[in-house]
A and B are shown apart, each in its own frame.
Chain A
Amino acid sequence: EIVLTQSPGTLSLSPGERATLSCRASQSISSSYLAWYQQKPGQAPRLLIYGASSRATGIPDRFSGSGSGTDFTLTISRLEPEDFAVYYCQQYGSSPRTFGQGTKVEIK
């Protein structure tokens, strides 16, 4: 099983600032089969990024993904008020399709 470790656990930032979230895998993820999701309280997760760097339909270009192998990053270039939420990475290159434990982006 591939274990995904996200850091930091919580990120305290102000609107307009840049957010950098990390997702590290316990072994290499084949073909960059990594996705990122955003989840707000009481809502289902929303797909942001797939294939490590491709934005899903309707996702603003302030969200970008990068990385390969075992190290992946989600960057939010300028935080908008609606971006404060919990973010999860998920690998789907092998079963089980594991999630990271999440990073909470909170308003400073």
Chain B
Amino acid sequence: EVQLVESGGGLVKPGGSLRLSCAASGFTFSTYTMNWVRQAPGKGLEWVSSISSSSSYIYYADSVKGRFTISRDNAKNSLYLQMNSLRAEDTAVYYCARDHYDSSGYYYEGGLDYWGQGTLVTVSS
């Protein structure tokens, strides 16, 4: 069974830092592109960042570029999001999500097929 479990959320002051983790199991983590998506309270979904299987390709939303860093450790089946210079508008539930591939795991089909339960980040003084 595919599982994605986020951790590391909490309350942090503006300008502070936080590191989110996502522990993956039930699939060959090292072959999948992974993503972070966030959702502010009562708002819609916002894609934050993605990282390819070997970390060769990394992309960010403009709203977090230069402040957030995505990374992964394939040996530990883990995805990370280092968040610096946090702002009130970064307050959200942060989800990790897996790119959707076909049953062979090699052909990218599109969309995000598995999501974690999310971890809440609150930026407030």
Contact = CB atoms under 8 A, between A and B. Distances in A.
A72 interface: no
Contact of A50 (B35, B46, B111): B111
Given A44-B95, A44-B118, A50-B100, A97 B47 contact: yes
B113 interface: yes
Q: Which of A44, A45, A56, A57 has the most CB of B within 10 A?
A: A44
A100 B44 contact: yes
Contacts of B116: 44
Contacts of B35: 97
Interface string B19-56: 00000000000000001010000001111001000000
How many chain B residues sit at the interface, stated as a range, is 20 to 34
Given A1-B62, A96-B62, A97-B50, A47 B45 contact: no
Interface in A36-78: 37, 39, 44-47, 49-51, 54, 56-57
A96 B92 CA distance: 18
Contacts of A50: 100, 109-111
For the residues of A in contact with B, the DSSP-based class is loop
B44 A56 contact: no
Interface residues of A, number: 27
Interface of B: 35, 37, 44-47, 50, 59-62, 95, 97, 100, 109-113, 115-118
Given A1-B62, A50-B109, 13 more contacts: A37-B111, A37-B112, A44-B117, A44-B118, A45-B112, A46-B115, A47-B112, A50-B111, A56-B111, A92-B111, A97-B47, A99-B44, A101-B44
